[in-house]
Amino acid sequence: MMRVVVILLLIWVIGMGGLSLYMHERESVQAMDNGEMMVQRTPEGIFGLDITLSFTAQPDSFGVKTDEKPTSLLVRLNGKEILRRHDEVAAGIPVLIEPVRGLVEGVNEFYVESSPASGEAPRAEAVRLRCFWDGKELIEHTYWTEAGPDISATFPINLRTDMQREGSHEP
The whole-number pLDDT of residue 168 equals 45
- Give yes or no: residues 98 and 149 share one domain: yes
The contacts found for 63-72 with CB under 8 angstroms, 24 or more apart, are 63/115, 71/113, 71/115, 72/114, 72/115
Distance, in Å, from the CA atom of 92 to the CA atom of 80, rounded to the nearest integer, reads: 25
In this model, does residue 158 exceed pLDDT 70?
yes
In this model, does residue 4 exceed pLDDT 90?
no
Q: Categorize the per-residue pLDDT at 27 as very low, low, confident or very high, splitting at 50, 70 and 90.
A: confident
In a domain, residue 68? The reply is yes
Q: What is the mean pLDDT of residues 24-39?
A: 63
Q: Print the domain residue range for 58.
A: 47-166
By CB atoms closer than 10 A (0-12, 13-18, 19+), residue 126 is middle
In this model, does residue 169 exceed pLDDT 50?
no
Total structural domains within the chain: 2
Q: What is the mean pLDDT of residues 157-163?
A: 71
Q: Indicate whether this model's pTM tops 0.95.
A: no
Q: CB-side exposure of 79: number of CA atoms within 13 Å?
A: 2
Q: How far apart are the first and last CA of the chain?
A: 84
Q: What is the mean pLDDT of residues 4-16?
A: 90
- Give yes or no: residues 12 and 52 share one domain: no
Distance, in Å, from the CA atom of 114 to the CA atom of 108, rounded to the nearest integer, reads: 20
- List pLDDT tens digits, range 116-144: 877 666 678 889 999 998 889 988 999 88
The whole-number pLDDT of residue 125 equals 87
- List pLDDT tens digits, range 61-117: 665 555 567 888 999 999 999 999 988 888 899 999 999 988 888 889 999 998 887
Instruction: Give how far Cα 15 sits from Cα of 11, 29, 165, Å.
Output: 6, 21, 53
In a domain, residue 102? The reply is yes
Q: What is the mean pLDDT of residues 153-158?
A: 89
- Give yes or no: residues 34 and 112 share one domain: no
The whole-number pLDDT of residue 93 equals 92
Provide the mean pLDDT of the chain. 81
| Residue 83, beta-bridge partner list | 75
* 115 Rama class: left (phi>0) / alpha (psi -120 to 50) / beta: beta
In this model, does residue 32 exceed pLDDT 80?
no
- Give yes or no: residues 130 and 110 share one domain: yes
Residue 72 near residue 113, CB atoms below 8 Å: no
In this model, does residue 170 exceed pLDDT 60?
no
